[in-house]
Amino acid sequence: MPEPELYAAVARAPKLADRVAQQLQNLITSQQLHAGERLPPERDLAAMFAVSRTVVREAVRSLVAKGLLEVQSGSGTFVRAVKVATIAESLGLLLRSRSSGSAHAFEVRQLLEVEIARLAAARALPSDIEAMEQAIRELPGSEANPDRFAQIDVAFHTALARATQNELFVILLNSIGEVLLQIRRETVAEARSAERALFHHRRILERVKARDAEGAQEAMRAHLEDVHSTLARLLSREGQVSPEARG
Amino acid sequence: MPKPPLYETIQRTPKLADRVAQQLQALISTQHLRPGDRLPPERDLAERFAVSRTVVREAVRSLVAKGLLEVHSGSGTFVRVVAPEAVTESLRMLLRSSAGSYDSVLEVRQLLEVEIARLAAERATPQDLAAMEQTIVALAVTEGDPEAFARADVAFHAALARATQNDLFVILHDSIFDALLEVRRKGAAQVPGTVQRALYHHSDILRCVRAHDPLAAQEAMRAHLEESRQTMLRVLA
């Protein structure tokens, strides 16, 4: 055991604006203030918190920077509605500004999807299986339209994530989805890409239906491996590996 | 093979503004436009795309709504720079509002943490090790101060996530952990020995990471999570 320090740091009282920000944040996270709701005017907030308007303004500014509030000029300050799509776009931008963004996204996707396949095999409901079957029926012939192909591909993986009966998996998978969509659009140009996706999706579904958790994991690993190597081949043939796909 | 349907959906031509937005978005995803870059003035964009300024304005507005661009009044339109903290915050709010049970949070946390421990053992830099060490020193003196305990606890796991050298793990981990903070705080306040046990497990994980032993690090993390789950069950009981 290390000896406790003789001179422990003095805990400072947080700044007034930080305390106002914290209170507002608590109201939002505890859902007493809902997404899309308008905040009372600055003057009223100042009166309620018994602080100056400058303090309120500073608190609001820090929550805007955190993405919790948004100021619509003229009409007031609102609690920002958080959508998976918005998070996905932000993550996409963030990863793109990193040198190994897609490698990182792949690493996380692999982890999530293999576990999703395992849990889906244990927990899928008939309605989940139906959703996956539909995504498989719609896939053939879709490669003529890359956006459509990507959509159906995503629909299969989302249905699989739903089958875990754990909403968090759906949210997390979709959050890293924007970067992955980009990859899907790029790979669809590769020959027989839809055919191969179809083969793998069928195999995954078959293992899920058989309640074979290990088999489903294996099938998912093989599918991701295939997508990954297709992408690598595509990029090397173009002769220009985008910096984000390296590493 | 199923027969193709007789009546296929008609592919509509997208609106001009959507096509301009798509092109701009493509420039961003291919990194021809990078976060922080300023877009050319509306007039120039209209000329290059051979569309009206109204069309450009509509396209820009839709990308602002998507969070890809931001308008700084007076100085122009920029590709948005995203701070990891802002993403974490949004994801955290979304996870809270989805109101998953503790079980579903723990299920995801277990998956993330065990993989994080493995990758950290492979990739931790001396700075990462020092950061973890520091949180353990801080944790050692938190008996009787649940607030400080929760802070040091989070700090250890966050430092471990950073040691994967993958931002995504940091973001996902931070957003998930938030849901467990309150129950960790209560654990320290109500269940005797919580601080000592956390201290033991964190030290053990750090030892395995320092030895660059991924399998042992995973095992140590599993043991820690199991112990912390037991504490949690006692708090919630």
CA atoms within 13 A on the CB side of A232: 10
Amino acid at B139: L
Chosen for mutation from A89, A179, A180 (greatest number of chain B CBs closer than 10 Å) is A89
From chain A, the residues in CB contact with B87 under 8 A are: 87, 90-91, 94
CA–CA separation, B120 and B133 (whole Å): 14
Of residues A13 and A121, more confidence is placed in A121
* Residue B205: per-residue pLDDT: 98
Nearest 10 degrees: CA dihedral of A120, A121, A127, A130? 110
Could you tell me where the DSSP H helices lie in chain A? 16-29, 42-49, 53-65, 84-96, 101-123, 126-138, 146-162, 167-175, 177-187, 193-209, 213-237
B233 interfaces chain A, CB cutoff of 8 Å: no
Chain B nearest CA to A87, separation (Å): 6
Share of chain A above pLDDT 90, in %: 36
- Per the structure block, which two tokens stand in for B87? 């993403």
CA A113 vs. chain centroid, Å, equals 13
pLDDT of A113-143, one tens digit each?
A: 999 999 999 999 999 999 999 999 998 877 7
Three-state SS for A38? strand
- Under the banding of pLDDT at 50, 70 and 90, the label for residue A102 is confident
Residue A5 above 80 pLDDT?
no
From chain A, the residues in CB contact with B112 under 8 A are: 111
* Residue B156: per-residue pLDDT: 95
From chain B, the residues in CB contact with A1 under 8 A are: 140
Among the partner-chain residues A65, A93, A242, the one whose CB lies closest to the CB of B82 is A93
Mean pLDDT by 10 residues, chain B (237 residues): 58 76 82 86 91 92 82 85 76 68 85 97 97 95 89 93 92 81 82 92 97 97 93 83
Residue A80 above 60 pLDDT?
yes
Chain B nearest CA to A89, separation (Å): 7
CA–CA separation, B199 and B142 (whole Å): 10
User: Which chain B residue has the Cα nearest residue A182?
Assistant: B29
- Under the banding of pLDDT at 50, 70 and 90, the label for residue A246 is very low
B2 contacts A2? CB cut-off 8 A: no
Please report where in the chains the tokens 């700044």 appear, as a residue: A15
- Under the banding of pLDDT at 50, 70 and 90, the label for residue A11 is low
**What value does the mean pLDDT take over residues A162-171?**
90
A28 φ/ψ sector (left φ>0, alpha ψ -120 to 50, else beta) = alpha
* Residue B126: per-residue pLDDT: 97
Among the partner-chain residues A96, A105, A175, the one whose CB lies closest to the CB of B91 is A175
Chain B nearest CA to A4, separation (Å): 6
* Residue A74: per-residue pLDDT: 78
* Residue A243: per-residue pLDDT: 42
* Residue A184: per-residue pLDDT: 66
pLDDT of A190-200, one tens digit each?
A: 667 778 889 99
B137 contacts A29? CB cut-off 8 A: no
In contact, B103 and B236? CB cutoff 8 Å: no
User: Chain A neighbours among B 121-180 (CB < 8 Å)?
Assistant: 137, 140-141, 166-169, 171-172, 176
A86 contacts B67? CB cut-off 8 A: yes
